[in-house]
Amino acid sequence: MRDLFDVKQYGAKGDGTSVDTIAIQRAIDDCYAAGGGYVVLTGGTFVSGTIFLKSNVYLQVNASATLLANPDIRDYPDGTHYNRYVNEKDMDKCFIYAEDATNIGVIGDGEINGNAESFPNEGSIYRPMMMRFLRCSHIHVRGLKLYNSTAWTTAFLDSENIWCDSLDIRNDRRYNGDGLDYDGCRNVFISNCKILGTDDNLCLQASSKAYPMKNVHISNCHFTSICAGIRIGLKSIGDISNVTIHNCTFENVWREGIKIECTEGGSIADIIAQGLVMRNVTRPIFIVLNNRLDRIGSSIGLEAMPEIGSLERIMLSDIIATDDEEMFHTHYRFTDDVMGCPSFNGIRVDACESYPIRDLTLRNISYTTAGGVKKEDIPLEYPQVWDMRFDHPDEVSENYYPTWSRTTFMDIRNVERLTLDSMRFHALREDTRESYQIENCQTLKEDILAY
């Protein structure tokens, strides 16, 4: 058995113009037939359409090589889609795809480029996702530069034992610019990654009860996002649990740093985030427990609005969040999609009064926000979170509304067993709103200084 399968030996040109899809796939097929090994790209730019990975095969892109997405959509066959969003049917195609495979990887020190400029933008099915792994196990994605995907960079679905390490992800040319997305996965290890994107940098979700999202380890990563840095939930029909986040930095994140949303009837529990440093993050912490107003953005498995689920045992500690003059501006995604502004800033925790969040600890948090907002410039009424199965006011508090904060630093409602320890708040400009507000909470400890 040969361990190394050089794609040039299969006729791949690597000249940046010739299409090498057939040669690369033949090398993968032969590698698989031989029992496994490494399919190697070296010394050139290899243009390709969809590549189908198989068990025991590692695709290795060496430092001297680039794997470039073919701009011809005809080189991306059907059969690589597994949609889980009601409102996102546009990402049907895929560049690198694996299904029901084990012991696979995409590794190396080279570049994989999605060639985003060559594909249509929002609203077209002709936007190949860079990587999708469905029901796979023992997956390694390591060392690569993953640039310019036309949609999400990665999607790991119903898979287990996943290692993503030392990745440089830049996905800032198109909408849906996610970095690392996991849905219904377990035993996930993410480390030493740098992610820049137009949507959630890193996302953990559970679209079904059959595949819970659990045992996730995130460490030593850097996040820059027009949307959220780390998002846990929204899609939460199933359970999400056992998540640790350590030693990460966030810079220029125009929505949320750590965003936890239990919105579809499942459970999110046992989350620890510790040792985080944030610079210019509009909402450093955002936590909500609800059932959403409509089905937009939620799971195709939902047939009716679910009962509100549970969110408990969350501990966030040793966090420094600091704004500078950049945060006095309104920030947009591309031209007209407002993502954040000074009145939107702040830590926010909210839930329906009948379904409180339980056992939340915020400890050793230093937050310097831009401030400069006048109380009279925001609406008087701040809406409640409602059980959306029943009658409710026209305006309710949910995941993207309200678009303002009634406090300068922190707003927490409807939490049982809330611990606030060593919270230090400072505003760069005078702000006439309340410094912070704690409403309908059973507070075990409160140590807050605002100045």
Most distant CA pair in the chain, distance: 74
DSSP states along 74-137: GGS-SS-----BSS------EEEEEES-EEEEEESSSEEE--GGGS--TT-S---EEEEEES-E
110 CB burial (10 A radius; 0-12, 13-18, 19+)? buried
Mention every residue, 6+ apart, whose C-beta is less than 8 A from residue 316.
258, 272, 273, 274, 285, 361, 362, 363, 365
Architecture of domain 4-450: 3 Solenoid (2.160)
User: Virtual CA dihedral for 416, 419, 423, 428, nearest 10 degrees?
Assistant: -10
pLDDT number for residue 2: 56
Beta strands in 290-406 (DSSP E): 310-322, 331-333, 337-340, 347-351, 357-371
pLDDT value of residue 334: 86
The pLDDT value given to residue 295 = 59
**Rounded Cα distance, 144 and 66, in Å:** 10
Give the 3-state secondary structure of residue 317.
Answer: strand
Cis check for the bond before 120: say yes or no (omega within 30 of 0): no
Q: How many CA atoms lie within 13 A of 237 on its CB side?
A: 19
How much is the pLDDT for 1? 40
CB contact set of 78 (below 8 Å; sequence gap of 6+): 92
pLDDT tens, residue order, the chain (451 aa): 458 999 999 999 999 999 999 999 999 999 999 999 999 999 999 999 999 999 999 999 999 999 999 999 999 998 898 778 876 666 689 999 999 999 999 999 999 999 999 987 655 667 899 999 999 999 999 999 999 999 899 999 999 999 999 999 999 988 889 999 999 999 999 999 999 999 999 999 999 999 999 999 999 999 999 999 999 999 999 999 999 999 999 999 999 999 999 999 999 999 999 999 999 999 999 999 999 866 565 788 788 889 999 999 999 999 999 999 999 999 998 888 899 999 999 999 999 999 999 999 999 999 999 999 999 999 989 999 999 999 889 899 998 899 999 999 999 999 999 999 999 999 999 999 999 999 999 999 999 999 8
Can you tell me the distance from the alpha carbon of 349 to that of 361, in angstroms, rounded to the nearest whole number? 12
Residue 60's DSSP bridge partners are: 40, 107
pTM of the entire predicted model: 0.96
Q: Three-state DSSP class for 214?
A: strand
C-alpha span between 233 and 94 (Å, rounded): 24
Return the domain boundaries, the chain: 4-450
